[in-house]
Chains A and B, each alone.
Chain A
Amino acid sequence: MSMAPQTAQPPVPAGRVGTTEPAAPITAEAEASARRARKKNRLVALAFLAPFLAAFLLFVVWPMIHGFYLSFTNQSLTGSGGSLVGFDNYAEAFSDPKMWGSIRNTVWFTLISTVPLVIIAMAMALLVNTGLPGQWLWRLSFFMPFLLASTVISQIWSWIFNPEIGLANEVLGAVGIGPIAWLQTPHLDLISITIATVWWTVGFNFLLYLAALQNIPEVQYEAAAVDGASRWRQIWSITIPQLMPVTGVVFVLQILASLKLFDQAYQMLGGISSDTSRPIVQYIFEAGFVGYEFGYAAAISYVFFALILVVGIVQMTIVNRRKGQ
């Protein structure tokens, strides 16, 4: 890309190019003016960047640095402590069964939520993309839950999963199953949360797939139809392969989103913390704002960040290798 002012004002580049010419005064003058232009460019760029950069430094960069520092102190929320304790917090975290339990719960939730969230979304998009009448209604049905706040969906699903009078048990009771204590049974609680989460957020992935489907050129279907391919055949050998790159992206996004589980788990369980359901973000919250141990909470935050980084790097390596092939 060339600099806009130079293309607009031919004399300046002419002067700069002519450094070998004996006309030294012109060159010097041109260079001075180019320097002035560069300086002005820098100031203009700074002016455009300043508001975002200020916010970026204050609310992302500084907290990252300070959080890392805090993780090496015994800082408390009440203001006491604050002296450096070396790696004590990390040593404590790595020998803390609650920390390991919260990582296990988080990874388990990510495993059981990601697969349905990708496959159901793809199925929905493929069905909607057949052009069946009622497009508006399909999109509303599948995407609407995504627009609801975590509080709203938690209240609705806590009500559905209510062990005595909830809809889930009423329906299952009619066919002789239950009653099941969905949110009060260890291990089952995280599965119930997964069900609610799939209902809540699948619409986002559905829209990503729908956008991808609509980008597949019609020409390809036309060519396949001319060759006598059936519709099933077209879906199988044109649509699905074309969706593979998108599926990679959706998987990456979904895994990173699932690892951040907190809102709905915390609220559906009514803030009650159990070793079989507590996700790691909830453990950060509890250590910091219930236990007041800011230093320790900061250390767990960085353990969580390391987890995200490792998962992210692994995913990127896989995606790039695929691209390379």
Chain B
Amino acid sequence: MTTATSVADVTDIKRQLKPGERHFGPARIAAFVVLAVMALTWLFPFLWAVVTSFKTEGDAASGSVSLIGENGLTTQAYEKILGEGNVYIWAWNSLWTSLVITVITVAISALAAYAFSRLHFRGRTALFFAVIASIIVPPQVLIIPLYYEMLAFNLVDTPWGLILPQIVMAPIVLILKKFFDAVPIELEDAARVDGAGRLRVFLSVVLPLSRPILGAVSIFVFIQAWNNFLWPFIVLNDTMLMTLPVGLQTVISAYGVQYAQVMAQAVLAALPLIVVFLFFQRQIVQGVATTGFGGQ
């Protein structure tokens, strides 16, 4: 640690050196323009969906590139969907199943990761290797035998048939093990001298220290579960059990060419995660960076 003045000096140097900062030279302006154009390009498709969703069906189908249709703004599409569709049910199914998947996945992964990190037992290395090696197996390879297994368990077209195959995430075990490895063992030893058992130490010493990483992986697992398409699409047939992505997909054909309604649905389905992102931007960015590299 340095003194307060030298810290200030360092930040000052940093300021000057950060490429372009405080200098509005031509390079900086060019960078800004490029960035703004890219950001607009990336925002535009979604904004176009929002714009379309507030048009009448007639205006939407006219194909003109106007932001507001000839017949003005309307919330008809939203009223129609919220009035008669199954969007509420699908959103609820998505929410609770994703939460259950997140809680189970993070809980069982954290317990296993702690055992791999701290407990000594024969076959630990081999077992850990097997778990890590399974990361290379794409879930798509397993859909056929998994469906067969769900048939045998009578879980096809049930919420548990949807949830259970999604709770094994080897990368999460790896990330948490790496984190537990870095927790100073002295903290645990102190608690153990006081007579605390392994589970006690895990719950009252290790988990509280791991809150940021647990938050990061939880967000990651939740987003994956919320957006998962292939497995729910295969295992669910009952409209009332469907998650949002699968449910919405069935409506495209039902609504046919009603573009405003389809876009209103897309916007409604996107909204929850966008709101979550606005509130937890820092954690999500952190979580993706950690989990994204974790598999390596």
A interface residues, Cβ below 8 angstroms from B: 1, 3-5, 7-8, 41-42, 44-49, 51-53, 55-56, 58-64, 66-67, 70, 75, 123-124, 127-128, 130-132, 136-145, 147-152, 154-157, 159-160, 162, 164-167, 170-171, 174, 199, 204, 207-208, 210-211, 218, 221-222, 225, 231-232, 234-235, 249, 252-253, 256, 259-260, 262-263, 267, 270, 281, 284-285, 288-289, 294, 297-298, 301-302, 304-305, 308-309, 312
Which residue of B17, B34, B277 contacts A147 across the interface (Cβ within 8 Å)?
Answer: B277
Which residue of A170, A225, A231 contacts B27 across the interface (Cβ within 8 Å)?
Answer: A231
B interface residues, Cβ below 8 angstroms from A: 10, 13-14, 16-21, 27-28, 31-32, 34-35, 38-40, 42-43, 45-46, 48-49, 52, 61-65, 107-109, 111-112, 114-115, 118-122, 124, 127, 131, 134, 136-138, 140-149, 164-165, 167-168, 170, 173, 185, 188-189, 192-193, 197-199, 202, 223, 226-227, 229-230, 234, 244-246, 248-249, 252-253, 259, 262-263, 265-266, 269-270, 273-274, 276-278, 281, 284-285, 288-289, 292-293, 295-296
* Residue pair B292, A159 in contact (C-beta under 8 Å): no
**Interface of chain B, helix or strand or loop or mixed?**
helix
> In the complex, what residue of chain B is closest to A311 when comparing beta carbons?
B136
Q: Which residues of B contact A56 (CB under 8 A)?
A: 131, 134, 168, 170
Which residue of A44, A53, A142, A149 contacts B198 across the interface (Cβ within 8 Å)?
Answer: A44
* Residue pair A281, B227 in contact (C-beta under 8 Å): no
Which residue of A4, A222, A235, A262 contacts B230 across the interface (Cβ within 8 Å)?
Answer: A262
Q: In the complex, A301→B146 CA distance in Å?
A: 12
* Distance between B85 CB and nearest chain A CB, rounded to angstroms: 14
* Residue pair A48, B114 in contact (C-beta under 8 Å): yes
**Interface of chain A, helix or strand or loop or mixed?**
helix
Known A-B contacts A3-B120, A52-B168, A285-B143; A141 and B39 likewise in contact (beta carbons under 8 Å): yes
* Residue pair B39, A138 in contact (C-beta under 8 Å): yes
Identify the interface centre among A148, A162, A225, A232: most chain B CB within 10 Å of its CB.
A148
* Residue pair B144, A70 in contact (C-beta under 8 Å): yes
* Residue pair B138, A45 in contact (C-beta under 8 Å): no
Q: Which residues of A contact B278 (CB under 8 A)?
A: 140
Q: In the complex, A8→B190 CA distance in Å?
A: 9
Q: Which residues of B contact A154 (CB under 8 A)?
A: 249
* Residue pair A288, B52 in contact (C-beta under 8 Å): no
